[in-house]
Amino acid sequence: MLTKIYGGAVFGIEAIMVAVEVNVDKGIGYHLVGLPDNAIKESQYRIAAALNNVGFRVPGKRITINMAPANLRKEGSAYDLTLSIGILTASGQIANSNLEDYVIMGELSLDGSLQPITGALPIAIKAKESGFKGFILPKTNAAEAAVVEGLNVYAMENILDVIDFFNGVGDIEPMDALEFSSFKERVAPIDHDFSDVKGQEGVKRCMEIAAAGGHNIILIGPPGTGKTMLAKRLPSILPPMTLDESLETTKIHSVVGKTTNNGLMIQRPFRSPHHTISSAALVGGGSYPQPGEISLSHNGVLFLDELPEFERRVLEVMRQPMEDREVTIARTRFAVTYPCSFMLIASMNPSPSGYFNDANAPISSSQAEMKRYMGRISGPLLDRIDIHIEVSPVPFDKLSESRRGESSSQIRERVMKARKIQNQRFSDNGIVHYNAQMPPNLIRKFCSLDSESLNLLKNAMERLKLSARAYDRILKVARTICDLAGEKEINGNHISEAIQYRSLDRES
Protein backbone atom coordinates (compact mmCIF):
# COMPACT_ATOMS: atom_id res chain seq x y z
CA MET A 1 0.00 0.00 0.00
CA LEU A 2 1.29 3.45 -0.90
CA THR A 3 0.78 6.55 1.27
CA LYS A 4 2.10 10.10 1.22
CA ILE A 5 2.90 12.23 4.26
CA TYR A 6 4.57 15.62 4.65
CA GLY A 7 7.43 17.11 6.64
CA GLY A 8 9.67 20.14 6.19
CA ALA A 9 13.34 20.95 5.59
CA VAL A 10 15.00 24.23 6.55
CA PHE A 11 17.23 25.93 3.99
CA GLY A 12 18.87 29.01 5.49
CA ILE A 13 16.03 30.48 7.55
CA GLU A 14 13.32 29.45 5.09
CA ALA A 15 11.59 26.07 4.86
CA ILE A 16 10.78 23.71 1.99
CA MET A 17 8.01 21.13 2.15
CA VAL A 18 9.22 17.52 1.92
CA ALA A 19 6.85 14.83 0.63
CA VAL A 20 7.55 11.40 2.15
CA GLU A 21 6.17 8.52 0.07
CA VAL A 22 5.97 5.17 1.88
CA ASN A 23 5.21 1.94 0.07
CA VAL A 24 4.74 -1.40 1.88
CA ASP A 25 4.77 -4.44 -0.40
CA LYS A 26 5.54 -8.14 -0.42
CA GLY A 27 9.09 -9.11 0.42
CA ILE A 28 11.62 -8.15 3.06
CA GLY A 29 13.79 -5.04 3.29
CA TYR A 30 13.97 -1.39 4.28
CA HIS A 31 14.95 1.04 1.53
CA LEU A 32 15.25 4.78 2.22
CA VAL A 33 16.06 7.09 -0.72
CA GLY A 34 15.99 10.82 -1.45
CA LEU A 35 19.37 12.03 -0.09
CA PRO A 36 18.85 11.32 3.66
CA ASP A 37 21.78 11.90 6.01
CA ASN A 38 23.04 9.38 8.57
CA ALA A 39 20.66 10.57 11.29
CA ILE A 40 17.68 9.77 9.03
CA LYS A 41 19.16 6.45 7.93
CA GLU A 42 19.52 5.43 11.58
CA SER A 43 15.87 6.30 12.24
CA GLN A 44 14.71 2.77 11.40
CA TYR A 45 16.18 1.52 14.69
CA ARG A 46 14.53 4.26 16.75
CA ILE A 47 11.24 3.74 14.92
CA ALA A 48 11.25 -0.04 15.44
CA ALA A 49 11.97 0.23 19.18
CA ALA A 50 9.48 3.09 19.75
CA LEU A 51 6.61 1.37 17.92
CA ASN A 52 7.28 -1.89 19.71
CA ASN A 53 7.22 -0.15 23.12
CA VAL A 54 3.83 1.48 22.46
CA GLY A 55 2.15 -1.67 21.17
CA PHE A 56 2.62 -1.33 17.42
CA ARG A 57 5.17 -2.81 15.04
CA VAL A 58 7.13 -2.27 11.85
CA PRO A 59 5.64 -4.73 9.31
CA GLY A 60 7.91 -7.58 8.24
CA LYS A 61 7.61 -6.63 4.57
CA ARG A 62 9.54 -4.64 2.01
CA ILE A 63 9.34 -0.97 2.96
CA THR A 64 10.39 1.62 0.38
CA ILE A 65 10.52 5.28 1.41
CA ASN A 66 11.19 8.19 -0.94
CA MET A 67 11.81 11.72 0.37
CA ALA A 68 11.07 14.31 -2.30
CA PRO A 69 12.46 16.54 -3.70
CA ALA A 70 15.13 13.89 -4.13
CA ASN A 71 17.87 16.39 -5.07
CA LEU A 72 17.65 18.21 -1.72
CA ARG A 73 19.77 16.92 1.15
CA LYS A 74 17.61 15.98 4.19
CA GLU A 75 19.22 16.01 7.61
CA GLY A 76 18.42 15.52 11.27
CA SER A 77 16.26 13.24 13.37
CA ALA A 78 13.09 15.36 13.06
CA TYR A 79 11.69 12.98 10.40
CA ASP A 80 11.32 10.07 12.86
CA LEU A 81 7.64 10.82 13.50
CA THR A 82 6.97 11.51 9.81
CA LEU A 83 8.40 8.15 8.75
CA SER A 84 6.70 6.28 11.62
CA ILE A 85 3.20 7.56 10.81
CA GLY A 86 3.86 6.88 7.11
CA ILE A 87 4.84 3.27 7.83
CA LEU A 88 1.85 2.68 10.13
CA THR A 89 -0.54 4.16 7.57
CA ALA A 90 0.90 2.25 4.60
CA SER A 91 0.68 -1.01 6.58
CA GLY A 92 -2.96 -0.36 7.56
CA GLN A 93 -2.36 0.05 11.30
CA ILE A 94 -3.87 3.55 11.44
CA ALA A 95 -6.46 5.35 9.32
CA ASN A 96 -5.55 7.33 6.21
CA SER A 97 -8.45 9.76 6.13
CA ASN A 98 -6.88 13.23 6.06
CA LEU A 99 -3.14 12.60 6.40
CA GLU A 100 -2.20 14.94 3.55
CA ASP A 101 -3.73 17.93 5.36
CA TYR A 102 -0.99 17.93 8.01
CA VAL A 103 2.73 18.49 8.33
CA ILE A 104 4.17 16.02 10.85
CA MET A 105 7.61 16.39 12.47
CA GLY A 106 9.28 15.06 15.63
CA GLU A 107 12.20 13.06 16.98
CA LEU A 108 11.38 9.74 18.65
CA SER A 109 12.75 8.39 21.89
CA LEU A 110 12.81 4.62 22.28
CA ASP A 111 9.81 4.77 24.62
CA GLY A 112 7.75 6.63 22.00
CA SER A 113 7.97 10.10 23.55
CA LEU A 114 8.68 13.05 21.26
CA GLN A 115 11.82 15.16 21.48
CA PRO A 116 12.09 18.76 20.22
CA ILE A 117 13.08 19.66 16.67
CA THR A 118 14.79 22.67 15.10
CA GLY A 119 13.24 25.06 12.62
CA ALA A 120 9.65 24.70 13.83
CA LEU A 121 8.72 28.33 13.10
CA PRO A 122 10.00 28.47 9.47
CA ILE A 123 8.30 25.12 8.77
CA ALA A 124 5.03 26.37 10.27
CA ILE A 125 5.14 29.52 8.12
CA LYS A 126 5.79 27.46 4.98
CA ALA A 127 3.01 25.00 5.91
CA LYS A 128 0.55 27.89 6.17
CA GLU A 129 1.70 29.29 2.80
CA SER A 130 1.36 25.82 1.21
CA GLY A 131 -2.24 25.44 2.32
CA PHE A 132 -1.89 22.79 5.03
CA LYS A 133 -4.55 22.75 7.73
CA GLY A 134 -2.38 21.73 10.67
CA PHE A 135 1.10 21.09 12.03
CA ILE A 136 1.72 18.14 14.39
CA LEU A 137 4.95 18.43 16.39
CA PRO A 138 6.45 17.93 19.88
CA LYS A 139 4.92 19.92 22.71
CA THR A 140 8.23 21.69 23.38
CA ASN A 141 8.13 23.40 19.96
CA ALA A 142 4.42 24.12 19.83
CA ALA A 143 4.53 27.66 21.25
CA GLU A 144 6.80 29.03 18.52
CA ALA A 145 4.76 27.36 15.76
CA ALA A 146 1.49 28.65 17.23
CA VAL A 147 2.38 32.24 16.35
CA VAL A 148 1.39 31.48 12.73
CA GLU A 149 -2.20 32.58 12.29
CA GLY A 150 -4.52 30.32 10.33
CA LEU A 151 -2.60 27.11 11.04
CA ASN A 152 -3.80 24.60 13.62
CA VAL A 153 -0.87 23.51 15.79
CA TYR A 154 -1.17 20.24 17.70
CA ALA A 155 1.23 19.73 20.60
CA MET A 156 2.01 16.03 21.11
CA GLU A 157 3.99 14.34 23.87
CA ASN A 158 4.04 10.75 22.56
CA ILE A 159 3.60 8.96 19.25
CA LEU A 160 0.49 7.34 20.75
CA ASP A 161 -1.12 10.81 20.83
CA VAL A 162 -0.51 11.15 17.09
CA ILE A 163 -1.87 7.66 16.36
CA ASP A 164 -5.01 8.36 18.41
CA PHE A 165 -5.46 11.66 16.60
CA PHE A 166 -5.58 10.03 13.17
CA ASN A 167 -7.67 7.11 14.45
CA GLY A 168 -10.20 9.58 15.84
CA VAL A 169 -9.65 8.48 19.43
CA GLY A 170 -9.87 11.15 22.15
CA ASP A 171 -10.39 14.86 21.72
CA ILE A 172 -7.13 16.61 20.87
CA GLU A 173 -7.58 20.34 20.33
CA PRO A 174 -5.13 22.71 18.60
CA MET A 175 -3.19 25.24 20.64
CA ASP A 176 -4.49 28.77 20.99
CA ALA A 177 -2.59 31.03 18.62
CA LEU A 178 -0.72 34.06 19.94
CA GLU A 179 -2.79 37.18 19.49
CA PHE A 180 -0.59 39.60 17.56
CA SER A 181 -2.72 42.46 18.84
CA SER A 182 -1.36 41.77 22.34
CA PHE A 183 2.28 41.59 21.19
CA LYS A 184 2.99 45.22 22.11
CA GLU A 185 1.84 44.50 25.66
CA ARG A 186 4.60 41.93 26.12
CA VAL A 187 7.52 43.90 27.53
CA ALA A 188 10.93 42.28 27.89
CA PRO A 189 12.23 42.34 31.48
CA ILE A 190 15.29 44.52 32.24
CA ASP A 191 17.90 42.19 33.72
CA HIS A 192 20.73 44.76 33.83
CA ASP A 193 19.84 48.38 34.56
CA PHE A 194 21.97 51.48 33.98
CA SER A 195 20.98 52.74 37.42
CA ASP A 196 23.52 50.24 38.81
CA VAL A 197 26.41 52.03 37.07
CA LYS A 198 28.24 54.57 39.25
CA GLY A 199 29.82 57.52 37.45
CA GLN A 200 30.80 57.10 33.77
CA GLU A 201 28.34 59.79 32.65
CA GLY A 202 30.26 60.44 29.44
CA VAL A 203 30.25 56.75 28.51
CA LYS A 204 26.53 56.49 29.27
CA ARG A 205 25.98 59.39 26.89
CA CYS A 206 27.85 57.48 24.18
CA MET A 207 25.80 54.35 24.82
CA GLU A 208 22.62 56.40 24.50
CA ILE A 209 23.79 57.81 21.16
CA ALA A 210 24.77 54.34 19.95
CA ALA A 211 21.36 52.92 20.91
CA ALA A 212 19.46 55.84 19.36
CA GLY A 213 21.18 55.52 15.97
CA GLY A 214 22.10 51.81 15.94
CA HIS A 215 25.82 52.67 15.88
CA ASN A 216 28.71 50.30 16.54
CA ILE A 217 30.84 51.30 19.55
CA ILE A 218 34.18 50.33 21.08
CA LEU A 219 35.08 50.94 24.74
CA ILE A 220 38.78 51.49 25.52
CA GLY A 221 39.97 51.46 29.11
CA PRO A 222 42.07 49.69 31.75
CA PRO A 223 40.77 46.61 33.62
CA GLY A 224 38.06 47.19 36.20
CA THR A 225 36.57 50.36 34.74
CA GLY A 226 33.20 48.73 33.97
CA LYS A 227 33.43 48.10 30.21
CA THR A 228 31.68 44.73 30.37
CA MET A 229 29.14 46.02 32.89
CA LEU A 230 28.21 48.87 30.55
CA ALA A 231 28.02 46.62 27.48
CA LYS A 232 25.62 44.19 29.16
CA ARG A 233 23.25 47.06 29.88
CA LEU A 234 22.99 48.37 26.33
CA PRO A 235 20.06 46.07 25.35
CA SER A 236 18.04 47.56 28.22
CA ILE A 237 17.89 50.96 26.48
CA LEU A 238 17.18 49.68 22.96
CA PRO A 239 13.59 50.11 21.69
CA PRO A 240 11.29 47.08 22.11
CA MET A 241 11.29 44.68 19.19
CA THR A 242 8.64 45.13 16.53
CA LEU A 243 6.55 42.15 15.44
CA ASP A 244 8.52 41.77 12.20
CA GLU A 245 11.83 41.91 14.07
CA SER A 246 10.59 39.36 16.58
CA LEU A 247 9.43 36.95 13.86
CA GLU A 248 12.72 37.16 11.95
CA THR A 249 14.85 36.82 15.10
CA THR A 250 12.80 33.86 16.33
CA LYS A 251 13.20 32.13 12.95
CA ILE A 252 17.00 32.33 13.18
CA HIS A 253 17.06 30.98 16.73
CA SER A 254 14.54 28.30 15.78
CA VAL A 255 16.86 27.01 13.05
CA VAL A 256 19.55 26.25 15.64
CA GLY A 257 17.12 25.08 18.34
CA LYS A 258 17.70 28.00 20.73
CA THR A 259 14.11 29.15 21.19
CA THR A 260 12.18 28.87 24.46
CA ASN A 261 8.67 27.67 25.24
CA ASN A 262 7.37 31.25 25.18
CA GLY A 263 6.78 31.49 21.43
CA LEU A 264 8.06 34.72 19.89
CA MET A 265 11.24 36.27 21.27
CA ILE A 266 10.52 39.65 22.85
CA GLN A 267 13.99 40.35 24.25
CA ARG A 268 16.70 41.53 21.89
CA PRO A 269 19.52 38.97 21.69
CA PHE A 270 22.83 39.68 23.42
CA ARG A 271 25.65 37.40 22.26
CA SER A 272 29.12 37.42 23.79
CA PRO A 273 31.37 34.77 22.18
CA HIS A 274 34.78 33.89 23.64
CA HIS A 275 37.85 35.24 21.88
CA THR A 276 38.88 31.70 20.84
CA ILE A 277 35.87 31.48 18.47
CA SER A 278 36.50 30.33 14.90
CA SER A 279 35.47 32.28 11.81
CA ALA A 280 32.83 29.63 10.93
CA ALA A 281 31.29 29.89 14.40
CA LEU A 282 31.28 33.69 14.20
CA VAL A 283 29.78 34.26 10.74
CA GLY A 284 28.22 30.84 10.15
CA GLY A 285 29.25 27.80 8.17
CA GLY A 286 29.83 24.07 8.37
CA SER A 287 29.22 21.23 5.91
CA TYR A 288 25.51 21.91 6.31
CA PRO A 289 25.60 25.66 7.03
CA GLN A 290 24.23 26.98 10.28
CA PRO A 291 23.91 30.63 11.34
CA GLY A 292 26.84 32.00 13.34
CA GLU A 293 27.02 34.44 16.25
CA ILE A 294 26.54 37.49 14.04
CA SER A 295 23.20 36.10 12.78
CA LEU A 296 22.15 35.00 16.27
CA SER A 297 22.75 38.66 17.22
CA HIS A 298 20.35 39.85 14.48
CA ASN A 299 18.23 42.77 15.76
CA GLY A 300 20.30 42.72 18.94
CA VAL A 301 23.83 43.17 20.23
CA LEU A 302 27.09 41.33 19.54
CA PHE A 303 29.64 41.96 22.30
CA LEU A 304 33.30 41.18 21.59
CA ASP A 305 35.20 41.52 24.86
CA GLU A 306 38.98 42.06 24.62
CA LEU A 307 38.83 42.66 20.87
CA PRO A 308 42.61 42.38 20.19
CA GLU A 309 42.60 38.86 21.66
CA PHE A 310 40.44 37.60 18.78
CA GLU A 311 42.34 36.20 15.82
CA ARG A 312 42.73 38.87 13.19
CA ARG A 313 41.48 36.64 10.35
CA VAL A 314 38.33 35.91 12.39
CA LEU A 315 37.60 39.62 12.82
CA GLU A 316 38.26 40.36 9.15
CA VAL A 317 35.46 38.05 7.97
CA MET A 318 32.99 40.36 9.74
CA ARG A 319 33.81 43.37 7.58
CA GLN A 320 31.48 42.66 4.67
CA PRO A 321 28.55 41.39 6.81
CA MET A 322 28.77 44.56 8.93
CA GLU A 323 28.27 46.65 5.77
CA ASP A 324 25.71 44.45 3.99
CA ARG A 325 23.83 43.37 7.16
CA GLU A 326 23.60 39.85 5.77
CA VAL A 327 26.06 37.01 5.24
CA THR A 328 26.07 34.54 2.36
CA ILE A 329 27.67 31.13 2.89
CA ALA A 330 28.46 29.43 -0.41
CA ARG A 331 29.07 25.74 -0.99
CA THR A 332 29.70 23.84 -4.22
CA ARG A 333 26.04 23.18 -5.02
CA PHE A 334 24.20 25.86 -3.07
CA ALA A 335 24.43 29.08 -1.08
CA VAL A 336 22.42 30.26 1.92
CA THR A 337 21.97 33.80 3.17
CA TYR A 338 21.41 34.74 6.82
CA PRO A 339 20.47 38.23 8.03
CA CYS A 340 22.87 39.83 10.51
CA SER A 341 21.77 43.38 11.29
CA PHE A 342 23.39 43.75 14.70
CA MET A 343 24.98 46.39 16.88
CA LEU A 344 28.63 45.66 17.58
CA ILE A 345 30.00 46.53 21.00
CA ALA A 346 33.69 45.86 21.46
CA SER A 347 35.96 46.46 24.42
CA MET A 348 39.70 46.51 24.77
CA ASN A 349 42.52 47.58 27.03
CA PRO A 350 44.60 50.53 25.81
CA SER A 351 47.76 48.37 25.89
CA PRO A 352 48.84 44.77 26.65
CA SER A 353 49.25 45.62 30.34
CA GLY A 354 45.99 47.54 30.35
CA TYR A 355 47.59 50.65 31.90
CA PHE A 356 49.20 52.55 29.02
CA ASN A 357 50.34 56.08 30.00
CA ASP A 358 49.32 55.56 33.63
CA ALA A 359 52.25 56.60 35.85
CA ASN A 360 50.69 54.95 38.92
CA ALA A 361 50.05 51.60 37.23
CA PRO A 362 51.77 48.45 38.54
CA ILE A 363 52.76 47.44 34.98
CA SER A 364 53.58 49.67 32.03
CA SER A 365 53.84 49.10 28.29
CA SER A 366 56.26 50.65 25.84
CA GLN A 367 55.24 52.49 22.69
CA ALA A 368 56.43 49.53 20.58
CA GLU A 369 54.30 47.09 22.59
CA MET A 370 51.37 49.43 22.23
CA LYS A 371 51.71 49.56 18.43
CA ARG A 372 51.96 45.77 18.16
CA TYR A 373 48.89 45.42 20.36
CA MET A 374 46.83 47.91 18.35
CA GLY A 375 48.07 46.33 15.12
CA ARG A 376 45.96 43.25 15.84
CA ILE A 377 42.90 45.26 14.77
CA SER A 378 42.85 46.38 11.16
CA GLY A 379 42.10 49.96 10.16
CA PRO A 380 39.19 48.97 7.89
CA LEU A 381 37.51 47.20 10.82
CA LEU A 382 37.96 50.21 13.11
CA ASP A 383 36.51 52.42 10.35
CA ARG A 384 33.31 50.39 10.59
CA ILE A 385 32.96 51.22 14.29
CA ASP A 386 31.20 54.58 14.57
CA ILE A 387 32.03 55.50 18.17
CA HIS A 388 35.38 55.10 19.99
CA ILE A 389 35.17 56.10 23.65
CA GLU A 390 37.70 56.00 26.49
CA VAL A 391 36.50 54.53 29.78
CA SER A 392 38.38 55.92 32.79
CA PRO A 393 38.52 54.47 36.31
CA VAL A 394 35.68 55.63 38.55
CA PRO A 395 36.86 57.79 41.50
CA PHE A 396 36.11 56.58 45.03
CA ASP A 397 33.62 59.34 45.82
CA LYS A 398 31.48 58.22 42.87
CA LEU A 399 31.71 54.56 43.83
CA SER A 400 30.72 55.20 47.43
CA GLU A 401 27.77 57.52 46.85
CA SER A 402 24.35 56.06 47.64
CA ARG A 403 22.45 57.94 44.96
CA ARG A 404 21.42 55.72 42.07
CA GLY A 405 22.03 56.80 38.50
CA GLU A 406 19.50 57.34 35.75
CA SER A 407 17.49 54.20 35.03
CA SER A 408 17.43 52.32 31.73
CA SER A 409 13.73 53.11 31.34
CA GLN A 410 14.41 56.85 31.41
CA ILE A 411 17.20 56.57 28.85
CA ARG A 412 15.09 54.29 26.66
CA GLU A 413 12.35 56.94 26.44
CA ARG A 414 14.80 59.39 24.84
CA VAL A 415 16.15 56.67 22.55
CA MET A 416 12.65 55.78 21.39
CA LYS A 417 11.86 59.44 20.64
CA ALA A 418 14.98 59.67 18.48
CA ARG A 419 14.13 56.38 16.74
CA LYS A 420 10.62 57.69 16.02
CA ILE A 421 12.14 60.70 14.26
CA GLN A 422 14.32 58.36 12.18
CA ASN A 423 11.39 56.08 11.32
CA GLN A 424 9.49 59.08 9.98
CA ARG A 425 12.56 60.29 8.08
CA PHE A 426 13.09 56.94 6.36
CA SER A 427 9.42 56.00 5.97
CA ASP A 428 9.72 56.08 2.17
CA ASN A 429 12.66 53.66 2.26
CA GLY A 430 11.80 50.15 3.39
CA ILE A 431 15.43 49.12 3.92
CA VAL A 432 16.77 51.93 6.13
CA HIS A 433 15.23 52.23 9.61
CA TYR A 434 17.84 54.15 11.63
CA ASN A 435 20.81 56.43 11.04
CA ALA A 436 23.56 53.81 11.11
CA GLN A 437 22.00 52.15 8.06
CA MET A 438 22.09 55.24 5.85
CA PRO A 439 23.79 54.70 2.47
CA PRO A 440 25.79 57.57 0.87
CA ASN A 441 22.84 58.99 -1.07
CA LEU A 442 20.77 59.39 2.13
CA ILE A 443 23.76 60.81 4.00
CA ARG A 444 23.98 63.57 1.38
CA LYS A 445 20.24 64.16 1.67
CA PHE A 446 19.82 64.18 5.47
CA CYS A 447 23.25 65.25 6.75
CA SER A 448 23.81 68.57 5.01
CA LEU A 449 26.15 70.98 6.85
CA ASP A 450 26.46 74.74 7.05
CA SER A 451 29.81 76.37 6.23
CA GLU A 452 30.97 76.52 9.88
CA SER A 453 30.28 72.83 10.49
CA LEU A 454 31.86 71.92 7.15
CA ASN A 455 35.09 73.75 8.00
CA LEU A 456 35.18 72.10 11.42
CA LEU A 457 34.85 68.66 9.86
CA LYS A 458 37.41 69.47 7.17
CA ASN A 459 40.03 70.48 9.76
CA ALA A 460 39.38 67.29 11.75
CA MET A 461 39.70 65.12 8.62
CA GLU A 462 43.03 66.70 7.70
CA ARG A 463 44.54 66.66 11.20
CA LEU A 464 43.46 63.11 12.05
CA LYS A 465 43.95 61.77 8.48
CA LEU A 466 40.52 60.17 8.58
CA SER A 467 39.25 57.89 5.82
CA ALA A 468 36.17 58.50 3.69
CA ARG A 469 34.34 55.83 5.70
CA ALA A 470 35.20 57.66 8.96
CA TYR A 471 33.79 60.83 7.37
CA ASP A 472 30.47 59.07 6.81
CA ARG A 473 30.52 57.69 10.33
CA ILE A 474 30.97 61.16 11.85
CA LEU A 475 28.03 62.51 9.84
CA LYS A 476 25.79 59.60 10.90
CA VAL A 477 26.66 60.03 14.58
CA ALA A 478 26.13 63.80 14.32
CA ARG A 479 22.71 63.15 12.78
CA THR A 480 21.82 60.95 15.78
CA ILE A 481 23.05 63.56 18.27
CA CYS A 482 20.87 66.09 16.46
CA ASP A 483 17.85 63.75 16.68
CA LEU A 484 18.36 63.21 20.42
CA ALA A 485 18.40 67.00 20.86
CA GLY A 486 15.14 67.25 18.92
CA GLU A 487 16.72 69.58 16.34
CA LYS A 488 16.24 69.47 12.58
CA GLU A 489 19.60 70.69 11.25
CA ILE A 490 23.09 69.48 12.18
CA ASN A 491 25.25 72.25 13.65
CA GLY A 492 28.83 72.66 14.84
CA ASN A 493 28.10 71.34 18.35
CA HIS A 494 26.79 68.07 16.94
CA ILE A 495 29.80 67.71 14.62
CA SER A 496 32.35 68.50 17.33
CA GLU A 497 30.80 65.96 19.71
CA ALA A 498 30.80 63.31 16.98
CA ILE A 499 34.48 63.99 16.22
CA GLN A 500 35.33 63.46 19.90
CA TYR A 501 34.09 59.90 19.57
CA ARG A 502 36.98 58.90 17.28
CA SER A 503 39.51 58.27 20.08
CA LEU A 504 41.52 55.65 18.23
CA ASP A 505 41.95 57.99 15.25
CA ARG A 506 43.36 60.63 17.59
CA GLU A 507 45.75 58.14 19.19
CA SER A 508 47.06 57.08 15.78
Whole-number pLDDT of residue 483:
95
- What pLDDT is recorded for position 355? 60
Delimit the domains of the chain by residue range.
2-167
| 3-class SS letters over 302-336 | EEECCHHHCCHHHHHCCHHHHHHCEEEEECCCCEE
Q: Which residues of the chain have pLDDT under 50?
A: 181, 507-508
DSSP 8-state assignment for residue 176:
P
Please report the pLDDT score of residue 251 as a whole number.
93
Neighbours of 350 (CB within 10 A): 22
Sign of CA dihedral 481, 487, 488, 494: negative
C-alpha distances (whole Å) from 355 to each of 207, 221, 299, 360 are 23, 8, 34, 9
CB 330 within 8 A of CB 285: no
pLDDT digits (tens, 9 = 90+) for 346-381: 999 887 766 655 555 555 666 777 777 777 888 888
What local confidence, expressed as pLDDT, does residue 508 receive? 45
Q: In the CATH scheme, what is the code of domain 2-167?
A: 3.30.230.10
171-229: pLDDT as tens digits? 888 987 665 545 555 666 777 888 888 888 889 999 999 999 999 999 988 888 889 99
- DSSP classification of residue 183: G
pLDDT for position 179? 53
Give the ranges where 98-219 is alpha helix by DSSP (H): 120-129, 142-145, 159-167, 201-213
Q: What pLDDT does residue 396 have?
A: 76
Show Cβ contacts of residue 441 under 8 Å, excluding neighbours closer than 6 positions.
none
| Amino acid 421: pLDDT | 94
Q: How far apart are CA 403 and CA 405, in angstroms?
A: 7
HSE-up (13 A, CA, CB side) for residue 187? 10
